[in-house]
Amino acid sequence: MLDLTRIREAQKRIAPFVRKTPVLQNKRLNEIAGQPVFFKCENLQIGGAFKARGAFNAIFSLSDRDARHGVVTHSSGNHAGAVALAAKEREIPAFIVMPENVAPPKLAQVRQTGAAIKFCEPTMEARQAAATEIISENGATLIHPYNNYDVMAGQGTAAAEFLEEIPDLAHVLVPVSGGGLLSGTATAAKGISKLIRITAVEPEGAADTWESFQKQKLMPLKDPQTIADGLRASLGELPFPIVLEKVDEVVLVSDTEIVGAMRQLWEELRVIVEPSAAVTWAALREGKVELSGPTGIILTGGNVDLDRLPWCSR
């Protein structure tokens, strides 16, 4: 259901709508890593995150008949904003379910599009129930944040684009939550080069992918506790078998390590990244990943509450 051909088709479909994001390097960060490290800046993507890729691919894959009833999704932020943007571009209704504790910048992004927002308790059960109710009332199509092959294919376009620019990458590090980006990245990268190594990174306080990978069985995430608000979803049923087949390792980082890595990326690369985007550099700079050559990191998003930076006293 997901292969390099499907990802290439997604590249063509979304090209008019998304940015070809820049790739940055930094001498100091290369010295720390001991290898050349390339940062794919999806924090500079429209909407401030890679999520635009999957949302635009899924929404512009819909038939006119399905699209006219609109789309619905549930998300803590970046995917919500991406779906709202894509729906606005296609001129169809968007219904967005968001938890009551959503980060203010991510809520503001959705509101700017004019999408209809429904708040719910910050649990997956509440999010799914609210989305189901909207589908029943409006006939909208669910654009799931990660359990959707069109979304997964769209997310994989970031890695395909990355390898077009830096074809000799030996290793790619990817944050993981629901698994849409990880499965898309692994499929694209290994479709281009079977020898490339894929490392998934997630917070210690939301370690369901790590546990699922160790046990070779999908394990639910219970009560995630991490500063990385974009990585609090459970690994999805559709990405899971792809993760088992194509991902080489899963490593964990602490919130303290995430904050340190986030600040260093701000200082050295001069770009804004959110905690969820910093987990990969945290794993690398803490020596939790063994590198064997040029390495790619996808900086997944930059939607940060500037009034609540984690290294500043409140």
DSSP 230-247: GG-SPPPTTHHHHHHHH-
Per-residue pLDDT, 313: 61
Domains 4-50+148-299 and 52-142 share a fold: yes
For range 244-253, the mean pLDDT? 98
Task: Please report which confidence band the pLDDT of residue 105 belongs to, taking 50, 70 and 90 as the band edges.
Answer: confident
CATH class assigned to 4-50+148-299? alpha beta
**pLDDT tens for each residue of 281-311:** 999 999 999 998 999 999 999 988 788 888 8
Domain 52-142 has CATH 3.40.50.1100: yes
Q: Taking the domains of the chain in order of start, what are their residue ranges?
A: 4-50+148-299, 52-142
For range 164-170, the mean pLDDT? 97
DSSP 20-62: ---EE--HHHHHHHTS-EEEEEGGGSGGGBTHHHHHHHHHTTS
**pLDDT tens for each residue of 198-229:** 999 999 999 999 999 999 999 998 888 999 98
Among all residues, which ones are annotated catalytic? 51, 76
Average pLDDT score over the chain? 94
